[in-house]
Structure formats: structure tokens, C-alpha cells
Chain A
């Protein structure tokens, strides 16, 4: 701090500090705390707010724990988000390895450019594209029928299948880029040394490349899991009535019931889930928050 004062003087240092404080307090910490506080208060008509009925209780959380459906949806969301995360890793890892160690360095920027196009096209259009593809009379069914792989159109937009397809497509690039960065930083000599010493390719990956790419795996996994569990667009556009996502229940509380207090309790549960996931990832992969943010 004194360093800043000496370099930039009091007025500028105060400006920097004020901007940062405004951000962290008014936009981050206080709204989160207020959400937490609200989740313990009852949903009341405006006249009763602050009155004798406005007392703290665990009722909003009990609503969750007493509803088997909501608990089920919560766990489905966890399980299917985890499956999406694993699938994204499985798809992205070979490509990340190729881009960082195998591909000729002249083609890499062009490949990246092509890969960035879907990333710049917004998430809603990416899920909308799959809405068309997976339709009963959509191109996927026509294609598979034409190839003779299936003899009846498949109802893709049912169950969690379509959600998984949509989420993997939408978020796989968020796994690819951190993985690429991590593998890129590995000295290629280490891979060659392992090969020279007679290590088969799978062991080189298992013992040399994968351990080195831990920060990338953690970062990608956290991003994909958080975005999947918190996704609203993909489940709403691609799911059917049999497959519900936790964010849809939050929406119900906020918009249909207009019960913001129970809504904030549910939102807090979602946030808690993501925080726990980040913590577990940091422990499992022994990385710091700064590694994940990269």
C-alpha cells in the first residue's frame, strides 16, 4: 500500500482503492451476504416485512429437504454435470495434446481460430442449433436413417440424453483451452526422454503428461462443472418434462411463485455445491486458486 502511495500519490491510490472497494463490497460480498440472510427469512406480504412475523428460520431450507423431488433434481444435476465434465475431458484431452505437442506450429493459430468461432457465437444459439439437429424430424435422424444405422427416428429430446449432448457441445472448449495451456508448458524433452527409456505411449501420458497437466484439468473441470450445473438455457431448450435441472426449480421460485426468499435458499444451495466442487478439485489436484483462475 505504501508502495502505491509513493508511486502514484494519495488521490490516485484512493481512486484505485475506492473502485476496488466498490466492486468487492457493493457488487460481490454484500449482495452474497444479503442473499444468505434472505434465505433464512419467510416470504411475507410487503406489509408484514419487518413485522413480528419476520423472524429467522430454517423453513426455506426445510422446504428443500422435505421435497423428495427437489432433492432428486439436485442430485441429478450433480451427477449429470459430473458426467458432462468427464466427457468433456475425454474429448478435449487428445485434442489438447495434439495442438500443443503434435501439430505443426504453423497450423495451430488457424486451428485455434476455427475453434474460437463457436465460442464467440453465443451459448443460446449453440443450444438452439442442437434443438434443430435433435428434433424428431431433424437432420440427425434423417442422416442416421439414410445410413441405415437406425430404422426408426429416435426421440432425442427426451430424458437427460439431450441435455448431456447440448452441455458437452456448449462447454467442451472451456476444457480444451486450460488443458492446452497446461500441456503446452511441459518440456517436450521430458516426453522424448520417457519414450527413449522405453515407456509405452499410454504410460508416458499417465506418468508424465497427465500429472503435469493437473492445473489445467482442475481449471477446466471447475469451469465446465460450474457452467453445466448453473446452466439455464441448455436444460430449458433441450430437456423434456422428465428431466429437470436445479436451475429450473430456482426459476420457478423466483418467477412463478414470486417467493424470493425460498429462491435465495435454493440459489445458495447451488452456490454451495459449486464452492464444494472447487474445494474438492483444489484438494484432489493439489492446485491453488490462482492455477484455476488461469
Chain B
């Protein structure tokens, strides 16, 4: 018993250290945004300031990059979600070697470095005289982000009862109705998750964007060029805003989950009580 306790203690220490390792760098980076020092640092602490936020707000280039990022991300969602969903439905209905070959091609972009995707997209579209720009960034990102959507939807399809489609067809539903009323509603959670992942993957993307963007900026490229050419804590201000948004999102998600869990527990307890209440007279009658 003693050994087990020690091992649990060691594990707890390890988890605490790991969490600190993951989160402290973000705290330090965010803290530097509030320090009135020319170079981003938390030590020595010069004094509290909001000037880096003001400077960030007044930076026109940042706003352009911000709009570009959102535009590209929306374009990626608009392309990757239909493509990934269609590909998942298609691959789910083929078998054998055709399936493994198709699957291989669909997974390939996930296992390819972003730089290679970027360069091949740039070269390929250049052949058709399509110049580099944000449209190519969106196309390049879609090539691998569609694979994430495909995997999510394919996983969801595993729990789909195909007999429902059969029944609908037998009852005279049209093909379009089968898809709209039966297949898609079952897939919505996966499609929603896919859209969210596509959006955030696109916002995060740097490697593919770097080679395809032409002269346009996205947020990651903007941060990158600011870091390389004379760093100021405005980047930390941006980082602090992004980290804060992330944490708020995470908290919101956690609260919603707890509430769902509590609701689920309560209704499960309720159901158990009702079951017992129903079983009681039967038990009495049996005696």
C-alpha cells in the first residue's frame, strides 16, 4: 500500500511539473505584454503599461493581416468541409484495395511537411499562370485540412445505421431527402467539429502560407516578420489577447460540459428512482 501511495504522489508531482512546463511559458509571454520595457521581458519589471496594446491597435498592418487571416480561414472551411464530407461518404462505401489506395492518397497530405505542400501548390498553379496570393494559401491549406474533416466524418459514419436510409427509401423518400433528412443530421456533430478544426488549423498555418502567400500577410506571417525585424512587446500584447480568448473558450467549454454532466447525472438518478418505484409493486406482488 505504501509503494502505491508513493507512486501516486510521484505521478501527481510529475503532472504538476508538466502542466507548469506547458503553461508557464505562455504566462511569461503574456506578462511581458504588460511590462514597460523596450524588449519583451518580465524581469526586471519596469512598470505596468498598456502602451503595447495601444501600439498594436494602431498598427494598420496588423489589421490587414487579421482580415486576411479570417478571409483565408473562412475560404478553407468553405472548401474543406464539403470536400472532406464527400470524401468520407465515398470512401465509406468502397472496400478492398480501392479503399486502401484512396485512403493512402487522402492521408498523404497530413504526413507531408507544410513547406512541401506550399511549394507544390505554388508551382502547380503557376503553370496555369495563377499568381501567388491568399487564394493559393487557401487552396494549399485545404489540401491537408480536408483530410482532418474526412477522418472526423468517417469516424462518425461508423456509428451510422444504414437501415435508416433503406427504410426511408422504401417509404418513398427521394435521394436528396435521404441525404438531407437522414445522413446529414447524423453527421452534423462531426461536420461542426470539422469546421471548427479547419478554421483554427487555417489560422495557425504558417509553413504552407509562407510559400503561397505572394506579398500578402496573414497573422502568423505578420508575427514572424515582426519577431525577425526588431521585436517589440506589441507581439506579446497580441499573444496575450489570443491566449485570453483561448482560455475563455476553454472555460466556457468546461462549464458547459460540467452542466451537461450534472444534468445527465440528475436525469440518470431520476430514471433510477422511477425504475425502483415501478419495480417495487412488482416485487411486492411477487411475494
A interface vs B, CB < 8 Å? Answer: 1, 3-4, 7-9, 11-12, 15-17, 19-20, 22-24, 27-32, 34-35, 38, 91, 94-95, 98, 102-103, 109-111, 113-118, 120-126, 128-133, 135, 137-139, 142, 169, 173, 201, 222, 226-227, 229-233, 236-237, 247, 250-251, 254, 260, 263-264, 267-268, 270-271, 274-275, 278, 289-290, 292-294
Contacts and interface: CB of A to CB of B under 8 A. Distances in A.
B153 to A, nearest CB: 12
A35 B11 contact: no
A123 B102 CA distance: 30
Contacts, number: 251
Contacts of A254: 119, 211
A111 B15 contact: yes
For the complex of A and B, 9 pairs with smallest distance between CB atoms: A230-B113, A9-B175, A27-B143, A31-B124, A129-B25, A31-B120, A19-B86, A35-B120, A129-B29
A226 B113 contact: yes
A124 to B, nearest CB: 5
B109 interface: yes
A235 B253 CA distance: 34
B116 A271 contact: yes
Interface in B254-271: 254, 257
Chain B interface, >50% SS class: helix
B160 to A, nearest CB: 12
B54 interface: no
A109 to B, nearest CB: 6
A1 B32 CA distance: 58
Interface residues of B, number: 90
B107 A289 contact: yes
Contacts of A230: 113-116, 207
A233 B224 contact: yes
Nearest to A107: B15
19 contacts: A7-B165, A17-B86, A19-B83, A32-B120, A34-B124, A35-B120, A109-B254, A113-B250, A120-B250, A123-B204, A131-B227, A132-B41, A142-B43, A226-B111, A230-B116, A232-B206, A232-B210, A260-B122, A263-B119
B90 interface: yes
B179 A8 contact: yes
Given A4-B93, A35-B120, A138-B41, A289 B86 contact: no
A103 B151 CA distance: 29
Given A20-B87, A103-B11, A128-B227, 10 more contacts: A24-B105, A98-B14, A115-B22, A117-B22, A118-B26, A227-B113, A232-B206, A247-B113, A290-B103, A292-B107
B1 to A, nearest CB: 13
B86 A20 contact: yes
Interface string B109-132: 111111111011111100100000
